[in-house]
Structure 1
Amino acid sequence: MASVTRRTGERGSERRTAMEENLQQAMQRLLQNGSSFTQVSVEQLAAEAGISRATFYLHFRDKGELVARLMDRVTAEIIEASVLQSPETVTREELKKTIKAVVNVYLRHYAVMAAIVETSAYDEQVAALFRAMMEQLVDVNRRALQRLKQAGRQQADLPTQVADVITWAFERSCHQLIHGRKPAQVTAVIEALTHVIWTAVYAPGREGRATTGSPGSRKQSL
C-alpha cells in the first residue's frame, strides 16, 4: 500500500510541475506579445494556458507568486550558465563560451527580462524581485572573483565593486544590444563582453595555469 501511495504522490507532483510549467510558458507567450506583468490578468493567463481560473489558484496564490516563480527559474538558468567550474584555470576561450551561454539564456527569456525591467520602474513588488535576482547574480560573481584572487589569477588592486559593475553591465548589454539583432551582431556583443571582462579581471600572463599548493601560496603550474 505504501508503494501505491508513493506512486500516487509522485504522479500528483508531476502533474503540479507540468501545470506550473504550462502557466509559466503562458506568461512568457503573453509577454512576448507585448503585454506587461501588470497588464496580464489571471483570466488571460488561464485562457492562454487552457485551464480554468479556479485551477490557476490551485497552483498559485496570485499572479505575483507566478511572476516570482518565473523569475526564480530565469535566475537559476543564468547562474547555471554563468558559473565557471574552475575559474582558477579558465582560459579566454572558455570564458567566451560561458558568456555565450549566459547571453543565450537572456535571448531565450528576453520577453520576461524586458517585462521585469519595465515593470520594476513602477511596481515595488517586481522591483524587489528584480533587485533580489541581481543580488544573487552579483554574489555568484563575487565568489568567482574571490577564487581568482586566491589563485593569483585576478588583476592586482581590483576594485571591490567590480563584480557588481560587471553583473549590471552584462544585464544592461543583454537588455539593450542583443534582442532582434542579427547573429553576427550578437556574436560581436559576446566578443566585446569577453574582452571587457577578461582584460578587467584576469591577471596578464597566467592564462590556462592551475594553482598548486595552498590557495595563499599562489604557485602556478602548467
Structure 2
Amino acid sequence: MPPISRSRAVRERRDEVARRVLEAVHRLVADGTPYTELPVQRIAEAAGVPRSTFYLHFPDKSRLLIALAEQGGQGMFASAVAWWRSDHSTGPEGVSEAIARMIAEYRANRWVLLAVSELSAYDPDVAAYYQARLDRFTDLTRARLEEERRAGAVGHGLDSPTTAALLTWMVERTISMHCRDDDTGGDEQVARSLGRAIWLTVYGDSPRGSRGRSGL
C-alpha cells in the first residue's frame, strides 16, 4: 500500500474508533447514568473496541469528556457568538432569542456540559479546557464592548474587561443551573429575563437611549 494510502487508512481507522466510542457514551448515559459513574471498561465494551484501543485514542475519561464537549458544545457557543457579532439595534428581544437558542443547545447536550461543569471543579485538564472556552467567549464580548464604547453606543463608565467577565459567568451559571433538570417549562422566561439583564447591563446607560450600534 502506498504511503499516502496507508496514512489515510490509519487516520480513517482512528476516526472510526473515536466515533464508536463517542456514540457508545451517548447510548450509555441515555438511561440517566452519570458520566462520572461510567467505567472505561464498560465504555470500551459498548463501543466494541478493546480497552487498550480506547486508551490509544483517549488517555483517560477526562480527555474523552473534552472530546464530547467539543462535539456537543459548538452550537451553544455559536449562538452566543452570532448575537455578539450581529446588529444590536433590535433591542432586548434579539439577545433573548440568542439565549433561547443557547438554552436549547445546552439541553440537547445537557449531560456532557453538566459533567464538564462538575469535573472542572477538581480535574485540572477539564478545568483548563473549560476555562479556555469561557475565556474565548469573554474575549469576544470584551472586543464588542470596546467597539460599542468607542462608537458612543454604551455609557462612558462601562469597563469592558470587567463587564465581559461578569456577563460570561452570568450566562454560564444561569443556563447551567437552570438546565440541571429536564423541566423545560421555565426556559422561555429565563431567556427573556436573562436577555433583558444582559441588554440593560450593556446599554442601560447608553447616551443613545439604550440602542446598540448596527454590527461591528
User: What band does the TM-score fall into relative to the shorter chain?
Assistant: 0.7 to 0.9
Pair 1:23-2:21 in alignment: yes
TM-score normalised by structure 1 residue count: 0.76
Give 1:43's aligned residue: 41
Show the 5 A alignment for 1:31-110: 31-32=29-30, 33-37=32-36, 39-84=37-82, 87=85, 89-90=87-88, 91-92=90-91, 93-110=93-110
Paired AA for residue 111 in structure 1: W
Alpha-carbon separation, structure 2, partners of 1:125 and 1:31: 22
Alpha-carbon separation, structure 1, partners of 2:129 and 2:85: 28
SS in 2 for 1:121: coil
**Which runs of no fewer than 5 residues in structure 1 stay unpaired?**
216-222
Give 1:148's aligned residue: 148
Alpha-carbon separation, structure 1, partners of 2:131 and 2:53: 30
The Cα offsets for residues 173-204 of structure 1, whole Å up to 9 and x where unpaired, read as 1122233123x410110001110011111235
| Alignment equivalent of 1:180, drawn from 179, 182, 185 | 182
Q: How far did residue 18 of structure 1 move? A: 4.2
What is the count of residue pairs matched by the alignment?
208
Say if 1:71 and 1:153 are closer, same or farther in 2 by CA, change over 3 A. same
Alpha-carbon separation, structure 2, partners of 1:155 and 1:87: 19
Show the 5 A alignment for 1:177-216: 177-178=178-179, 179-182=181-184, 184-202=185-203, 203=206, 205=209, 207=211, 210=214
Q: How far did residue 164 of structure 1 move? A: 1.1
TM-score normalised by structure 2 residue count: 0.77
SS in 2 for 1:180: coil
Alpha-carbon separation, structure 1, partners of 2:141 and 2:84: 13
Paired AA for residue 22 in structure 2: Q
* RMSD of aligned residue pairs (Cα, Å): 3.1
SS in 1 for 2:23: helix
Alpha-carbon separation, structure 1, partners of 2:4 and 2:210: 57
Alpha-carbon separation, structure 1, partners of 2:47 and 2:105: 23
Paired AA for residue 172 in structure 2: E
Alpha-carbon separation, structure 2, partners of 1:147 and 1:84: 16
SS in 1 for 2:82: coil
Give 1:220's aligned residue: none
Alpha-carbon separation, structure 1, partners of 2:128 and 2:86: 33
Paired AA for residue 33 in structure 2: G
Residue range with higher mean Cα deviation, 91-100 or 194-203 = 91-100
Paired AA for residue 197 in structure 1: I
Alpha-carbon separation, structure 2, partners of 1:63 and 1:86: 33
SS in 2 for 1:161: helix
Say if 1:205 and 1:87 are closer, same or farther in 2 by CA, change over 3 A. farther
Q: How far did residue 43 of structure 1 move? A: 1.0
Q: How far did residue 145 of structure 1 move? A: 1.9
Alpha-carbon separation, structure 2, partners of 1:102 and 1:177: 12
**Which runs of no fewer than 5 residues in structure 2 stay unpaired?**
none
Residue identity (%): 28
The one of the two structures with greater contact order (alpha-carbon pairs below 8 A, sep at least 6) is: 2
